[in-house]
A and B are shown apart, each in its own frame.
Chain A
């Protein structure tokens, strides 16, 4: 994440979202990495006040890490690339939240996002989150045009930050003495739902420091403990490493899901079939909800997605002293699951995909992050890592009762070949019988069918699920690392196919499967004429997708006595494509800015406070068309950036 293009992209993003001051500070920090205030001031040539305001607000937005050294008492600032990058994913996240938990939840989420982090008490006071207005203020265009206000607020925000930090140190617990009467009706349940799903977490002190600083700090603390001091050599190292990890976990942990989870499911989320039994309207709502899977969630239905009537305790509000922020790691898990689901949808029937979605959701609740280590391990060095096993029973519970499970899986035995259409009396019978039982399915039957669908998913080529037996119970898991790898390969293959054609794709797949091959063997397996093969290999080598290894047969290294082996290294290719993706993203953003500049005067006119909202009245016909075109253009470019971000997510985050 520290490459040239990533830095460029993050700076661009910050400039777009927060304005020039932030961008200036960020780009300086990006260039020099870790700076004290005076050096920062020197490089950025900003005034004291500007810099302080900027830094304070950036800390609030988690764009800058700060760390006050114990040795010299100087505070150092460092850019937080990761969270700067996540600015780009905010739209996707909000859309996801809206789909999952409803519009109001998305509004709350966008408010928290907009503020960087926010105290629950402060959220209560925001007019935007008052329930009456919740529909008016749909902040789908998050963070846009916020900069000025933010900069002015700098000081205020900073104070608030400090305040927050103080309040956090209080032990957490359910404050029952809190007066629930005056709470906005929706805010607290929504926050609870968000917290229960793990989409928001508590801000901790340590989160303001970079991971390296935290590690060093924790190490120092551990080392100064008397029991550790007594140890020596290897034992000491081990103890320190272990203690550091523990301490880090303790300090960074902002998990809010405790107490909000019920049997591995967030309380609010337990809506599917617990209440499905006693009311048709409820069921109806569920189906509608599923209907918007691919489109947009937009009806009023979602408002009560999370608020459920069974849990009386749910009226207990969130403690207003808690400061919350977005939990991007968890959201990555959710977004990754969405990608897996898309993969399943491509090759499986919609019914199977829906069963899969139920499984994935169950797993998502119990998965905190996409992987344990910060870097994606090299190909082949990655151990298999299974998700939490989900009992088959739980999946069955979640699957919609009205879903026709039997109709989308064929019979086990086909008595006659398929090509003789209509002449299959036996088969017809078998199939008909399955359908007959569909109406009044017994529970066991349904379980079996869900299992069948999951088995179907477990098949190659993707092996989207895998079956486990745990103490006699069937459980299902998802092999995340394997699938994440698969996604990565798919992305690369798409790029290769688009650039070099399907012949190249075949060659790359052969190389990937077989390792290093010489031309002859490669030809035998890929069944391609030499001419085509050489052409495609050469052009791919120029593009950096495949490479050649020379293995000399004697010490002289004559070309005639050298074996040439082609190989394809997905790790290397992935890294270079990732860089290209960053670059393409920033190019799109730069182009957008350029286009905006071209239309600057016109756009300024449309932004005027009297024109805005009354475009039809003040703008001419031609101008209206232009505005429309501009909007389409902007949407296209931003959409493209979002699509590129999906690739980045696959190659870097999943």
Chain B
């Protein structure tokens, strides 16, 4: 089967990403933990789903105190997930299917088990002494906030071996690397080269705002940090032909994220964090303002740059990027049980967040796939998997993928007590009810609906590359926007409300064009001078391509006498 994979150096602008945790996807050796052998066996599923690029969560050797974001050796694969050879096979098999792969890379810090840190703490005079940020006191950089407020009291922790404090923006077992040290920058570039040489298509760069520290600043988004990223980009572009991508994780306001694109010479992509909670807010409020508002505050980005959009990911649904008032509303609306809260966020999956309401799940996905940026689907959300809020930290949204109603949801042949986390087994979201095998065979399933949406998205470059222009119909419950790219004009109309809504759209500038619905290919009445009237069912949406009268409807000059 042939399919057009997004080609060219800026492939990521058309791609649909799929975020997957190796340990959670498929267990190839029956030890209860997912691995690269299992993931390789499931590549056809991902291809069939219609994704273009996988984003692999940290796969490196690690004590796993922070689910792999505490890397103990950048050059090896965690033994539970396989070997570098297994990874290579996986990567080659993915490429054979026109699937690309990016991997998480934690740049800001390492595990305290990393040999660099062990050397650094044991011998203040040795080569690795300055690989980390050390201080004799715990009062420097006091302006920097504490991110994991639920577990950490300070950004400094005393190390009895070196008898000094080391700096950590995250957990105290994750010492920050010292990017003022040229040897650290060179060492990280070598790490990247090692994986890029194997064919990896890029990195999701974890926690990039925190690379460099300066006194009397928040120690976030500093110019020195941007300089480091620009250096990495320049070297990678130079050595790898310019089609490897850097995706920045900077949980910041859009105007603060904007510098991570540089002038097209820093990161290729960055997450749009503030949009995500506002999508939920808009659907809960049944009103478009939160979404339109955040885009009004989203600055333009350089040519070739791209936002990464997501509904959910492996972390809590983060509410750092909302106001206190908005946060209170979100807790009220989406996390009535305090167990659902974590740090400044809500640790739930997509389907439970939306009360398993199929209409709202599809609507949110319609927004994800049509707003400007490249969408990222979190594994399991395509079948509406549930979560388990009673598991610790963020584990509740990292449970095994549900493949079938077989033992362990078809995820592993191991004894169930050996699974890294229990499968979801509640009566609503349990694997007996929610699984790939059941949904694959049901044309109306969420899985198949997702496939259709992704296939429709693939038919126009305007979704990934087009400009956005919001329409302002009087009905505030309708979010309607135009996406334009060269001759392709798309009109997306979403009903944020749970009740049927009418809307009149001012489409006079498209008079004569015909909206063609992209999922069913139905031709709607031609646009005239009068307001264009549509009615939408509860949480309904339309994706239209506007066919110009001169774009296919006008005669070719042969049809009058073609026979």
Q: Do A and B come from one complex?
A: no
